[in-house]
Amino acid sequence: MALTNENNVIKKLLLFGSLYLLLAGGAIAYFLVTGKLTNDAKILDPVRIAEGKVIYQDHCASCHGINLKGQPNWETRNADGTYPAPPQNEDGHTWQHSDRQIFRYIEEGGADFYPPPIKSNMPGYKDTLTSKQIWALISYIKSRWPEEIRQKQIAANFAGGFGHH
Ligand code: HEC
């Protein structure tokens, strides 16, 4: 008798245990697929994209180009040792970095990442733009990437970034 009871308890535990795993797994899959876990839904909010576009045009387009195409020959060093501004669209390598890295780069500027003697023309914006404005900028830049590149950058987010800084 006692044995049957124990068996029942074990059966119930197994049943509820697997039910729980199924639900938890389902929830995680749902969040991953909808991008909620990766903050993607918030990042691609149209209001933020619109706000970011205006900030981009005011502060970034002069170097990175109105169409995010960067400066010509951006991979070739200038005579003074600096680099031209790279594209912010899929032709550049911004998408190889995690959101956090991109944020830090805009906040601190290039000089913070490259030790001398490498010189950088990329200014830091922490005294000019609020964090919210920088996130809006990132939303705008991401919204211009093709879906495939956006998916790769989501992977970069999980890995903490693929690039050099
Ligand atoms: C005065 C020119 C200039 C302005 C203005 C400028 N940048 Fe840059 N930016 C650069 C240069 C040059 C680089 C290349 C890296 C370096 O030399 O530090 C760069 C690099 C970057 C990178 C890193 C790209 C990568 O693949 O590693 C990001 C992101 C970026 N800029 C975003 C912005 C944003 C957003 C703005 C506007 C808030 C902005 N930049 C304004 C010149 C500029």
Contact 42, 63 (CB under 8 A): no
Mean pLDDT of 28-47: 69
Distance from Cα 83 to the centre of ligand 1, integer Å: 10
- Which range, of 16-20, 49-53, 106-110, 126-130, averages the lowest pLDDT? 16-20
Mean pLDDT over the full length of the chain: 87
* Residue from 141, 149, 111, 112 nearest 48 by CA: 141
**pLDDT band for position 37 (cuts 50, 70, 90):** low
* Mean pLDDT within 152-157: 91
- Mean pLDDT over 132-155 rounds to 95
- Expressed in angstroms and rounded, the spacing between residue 126 Cα and the centre of ligand 1 is 14
Higher pLDDT, 42 or 134: 134
Gap between the Cα atoms of 126 and 85, Å rounded: 19
Task: From 63, 78, 96, give the residue whose CB has the most ligand 1 atoms within 8 Å, as the site to mutate.
Answer: 63
Residue with CA nearest ligand 1 atom 11? 85
In this structure, the residues whose C-beta lies within 6 A of any atom of ligand 1 are 59-60, 62-64, 82-86, 92-94, 102, 105-106, 110, 120-123, 125, 137, 163
Q: How far is the CA of 40 from the centre of ligand 1 (A)?
A: 23
pLDDT, tens digit (0-9, with 9 covering 90-100), for 75-122 = 999 999 899 999 999 999 999 999 999 999 999 999 888 778 788 999
Output the six-digit token pair for 37: 């876990």
HSE (side-chain half, CA atoms, 13 Å) at 52: 21
Of 36-50, 89-103, 113-127, 149-163, give the lowest mean pLDDT range: 36-50
- CA–centroid distance, residue 148 to ligand 1 (Å): 23
Tokens of 38: 């990766």
Question: What's the gap between Cα 89 and its chain centre?
Answer: 13
